[in-house]
Amino acid sequence: MSKIQVGKPVKGNQLIGRENEIVDISELLLNGQSVVIIAPRRFGKTSLILEVLNRIKQQGFYTAYLDLFLTPDLETLSRKITEEILNNRKLGKVFKKIKGDIAEMFRNIELKQTIESFEFILKYNSQNPDSWELLSDSIDFINNYPEKYDKQIICAFDEFGDIKKFNGDRIAKMIRSKIQVQDSATYIFSGSYESVMDTLFVKQNSPFFRFARIINLGYVEKDEFKKYISNVFSGNHISIKDILIDEILDFTKGHPYYTQLIVQQILMNNSLGNFKEGFILKDILQQLLNIENNFLEKQWEDVGKSREIVQTLLILIKHRKSLYSHIDTKKINLGRALKKLSGSGIIYSENNIYHLSDPLLELWIKEKIINI
Ligand SMILES: Nc1ncnc2c1ncn2[C@@H]1O[C@H](COP(=O)(O)OP(=O)(O)OP(=O)(O)O)[C@@H](O)[C@H]1O
Ligand SMILES: [Mg+2]
């Protein structure tokens, strides 16, 4: 029986589709072109990045993965960078374990030799290290360590938009000025909030303007998911009509997180004996609304701060195709509201029609807010 992991990034053969993206991104990186991956929450950014890094590592490259969401301050970020870089020669663990105890550091021969070339590592030992300086040194280290061993490195900064939480502009500028002259390092950045990423990468005066190739990650191809879902169900001896699989994918559109969650939920219902002939997607979706209620409420709270945005979103859900004829343009600046909503990744447009990126949030709004 195959298990479905939902929540953690997926690896190897658990990762469905994305082959084109993996090949394209790897090709760019191997040619020294940095990239930035932009997609709403739970679209599979982290999974994609880890898979790319994993494959590139197998070709003999150095790699590093940093998640800015998990680094509360600059010193932690700098330590994490140093640890990840050292990890390419299996020194990350020792570095982490001894924290900054010099005597201990020198007891490890290889680490001692490394410190002789990269003295900044000793600064972690001081009482009140200057965290700005440490960060700056660790950004240099990303390039200089692999260079010493005649290697190239691919370094990923996941949730890079979070850089804004520490006086972001100054740091972003410092990072840009350093990494643009590095010959041994190429970068992957990723982020969920389009508007934040725009101010870092897309706008003309943004610090990383024209530095990284922009990749907007979409849903996973439905065909790939279809094959996968059929396999999971037959592997679990569940007989399901193809039409239910189509219904699942019509609902999720290939949103990886919700597709996986629905499949997991069907498996659970099945093993509990609740899955009977005639069981329909609607029942599963009701369960999902319960499971995800906190997350969805939070999303709604984030949206709900401006009346203009809320009104626009509600009309968009009710009258997607005739938006303009249902909106009072005297009261609502539609252009501005739509721009804000796409800027935060809540909606996206396809052939000039707007959709919510999160299909379950749409259902939640329909049921809880609009009552339809
Ligand atoms: N290509 C994929 N194939 C199968 N499942 C996937 C895929 N991508 C994502 N998922 C599912 O979606 C979940 C979220 O994926 P992941 O953490 O990679 O997304 P993310 O965009 O980094 O999310 P977050 O915004 O929370 O950081 C995974 O736990 C997994 O269940
Ligand atoms: Mg992620």
**pLDDT per residue as tens digits for the range 54-76:** 999 999 999 999 999 999 999 99
In CATH terms, the superfamily for domain 18-216 is P-loop containing nucleotide triphosphate hydrolases (3.40.50.300)
- Name residue 207's amino acid: P
How many A from CA of 6 to the centre of ligand 2? 13
| CATH assignment of 295-370, among 3.90.550, 3.30.930, 2.60.120, 1.10.10 | 1.10.10
- For the CA atoms of 207, 211, 216, 220, the dihedral, rounded to the nearest 10 degrees, stands at -130
| Residue 70 CB–ligand 1 contact under 6 Å | no
Give, for ligand 1, the residue of 14, 47, 255, 288 to mutate: max count of ligand atoms closer than 8 Å to Cβ. 47
Give dist(CA 342, CA 357) in Å, integer.
9
Give dist(CA 335, CA 216) in Å, integer.
22
| Residue 255 CB–ligand 1 contact under 6 Å | no
pTM of the model: 0.92
Q: Which atom of ligand 1 is nearest to the CA of 69?
A: 27
| Residue 9 CB–ligand 1 contact under 6 Å | yes
Q: In the prediction, which pLDDT does 4 show?
A: 73
Q: What are phi and psi of 72, to 5 degrees?
A: -70, -25
How many A from CA of 11 to the centre of ligand 1? 10
**Token pair of 95, please?**
């570095």
How many A from CA of 359 to the centre of ligand 1? 15
| Residue 4 CB–ligand 1 contact under 6 Å | no
324 sits in the region (left: phi over 0; alpha: psi -120 to 50; else beta) called: alpha
The segments of the chain whose pLDDT lies below 50 read: none
Q: Whose CA is nearest to atom 16 of ligand 1?
A: 44
Q: In the prediction, which pLDDT does 119 show?
A: 93
**Token pair of 72, please?**
């509360």
Pick the closest to residue 195 from 340, 40, 338 (CA basis): 340
Q: In the prediction, which pLDDT does 343 show?
A: 82
| Residue 193 CB–ligand 1 contact under 6 Å | no
Q: In the prediction, which pLDDT does 276 show?
A: 67
| Residue 276 CB–ligand 1 contact under 6 Å | no
268-313 confidence digits (pLDDT tens): 988 887 776 666 889 999 999 999 999 999 989 888 778 889 999 9
Q: How many CA atoms lie within 13 A of 299 on its CB side?
A: 25
From the CA of 257, the nearest ligand is 1
| Residue 50 CB–ligand 1 contact under 6 Å | no
Judge contact between 224 and 17, C-beta under 8 A.
Answer: yes
Q: What is the DSSP letter of 369?
A: I
Alpha-carbon Rg for the chain in angstroms: 24
